Amino acid sequence: MRKRTLLAIFLFAGLALFSRWMVNQQSDEIGATASNQRSTIDYELENFVARSFDEKGFLVFQMNAPRMSKDTNSGVTRVSHPRILWPQRKTDKKTTLLADSGLISDDQNEIHLSGRVVVKSRSTLEGNDNQPIILRTEELSFNQTDRLLTSNVLISLTAPGLQLSGTGMNANLETEQISLQQQVKGQYETE
C-alpha cells in the first residue's frame, strides 16, 4: 500500500472514533440531565383518593385524581385531573370541583385549579330535583380552611333561570354567597 492510502485510512478511522466519542459524550450529558430532573420528584401517586375528616368523623374534603407528584426542590405538589368533593353539612349541599390540573400549597390548605375548571353545587336532600349551580372558569383557588373560592379571570355562572358572567370572583359556598368583581353581565329567565 502506498503511504497516502495508509494515511487516509488512519485519518478516516481517527475521525470515526472521534465522532463516536462525541456522540457518547452528548448522550451521557442528556442522560445525566434527565436523571437530575427525575430525582427532584419526592413521590408520585397514581389513582389515589385523599380524604379529610373533622373531629367528629364527618367527611370535610375528598380528592380523587389519576396522578399526583411532589417536587422536592420547589415543594410544589402537582395533581392531574383532580376531582374534589366538598360536602356542606350546614346547607345540605354537595359541591364538586373538576379541573385539568391542580397545584397544592406546602401546607396543603390552598389548591390552585387550572384548565377547564367546573364547580357544581347541588342539594343533597332527598326529593329535591333542583338543577345544580354550575360555575366555569380557567383558573380558581380553593382555600380549605376558610372554605372560599377565588378567581381573577373570566367566570360564567349558570343557575336555574339565571346566567351570569364576569371577571374575578369571591365565593363562600358554605353561606352561598358569590360575588363577581368586574364586567358583570347577566340574563334572567322567568318560567
From CA 90, how far away is CA 73, in angstroms rounded? Answer: 40
Return the pLDDT at 166: 93
Beta strands in 3-128 (DSSP E): 41-53, 59-71, 77-80, 83-88, 93-98, 101-104, 110-123
- In tens, the pLDDT along 66-81 reads 999 988 877 789 999 9
**CATH architecture of residue range(s) 41-188:** Sandwich (2.60)
Per-residue pLDDT for 173 more than 80?
no
Return the pLDDT at 81: 96
From CA 41, how far away is CA 178, in angstroms rounded? Answer: 37
Q: Looking at this protein, which amino acid is placed at residue 2?
A: R
- In the chain, % of residues over pLDDT 90: 32
pLDDT class of 92 with cuts at 50, 70, 90: low
In this structure, is the dihedral angle defined by the CA atoms of residues 37, 42, 47 and 53, taken in order, positive or negative?
negative
Per-residue pLDDT for 60 more than 60?
yes
Return the pLDDT at 124: 52
Q: Looking at this protein, which amino acid is placed at residue 98?
A: L
Predicted TM-score of the model (pTM): 0.72
Per-residue pLDDT for 103 more than 80?
yes
- In the chain, % of residues over pLDDT 70: 79
Residues 6+ apart with CB under 8 A from 157: 133, 134, 135, 136, 163, 164, 165, 178, 180
Other C-beta atoms closer than 10 Å to the C-beta of 72 total 11
Return the pLDDT at 7: 66
pLDDT class of 160 with cuts at 50, 70, 90: confident
In this structure, is the dihedral angle defined by the CA atoms of residues 112, 49, 122 and 53, taken in order, positive or negative?
negative
Q: Looking at this protein, which amino acid is placed at residue 93?
A: K
Pick the residue with more confidence: 88 or 47?
A: 47
- In tens, the pLDDT along 106-115 reads 877 889 999 9
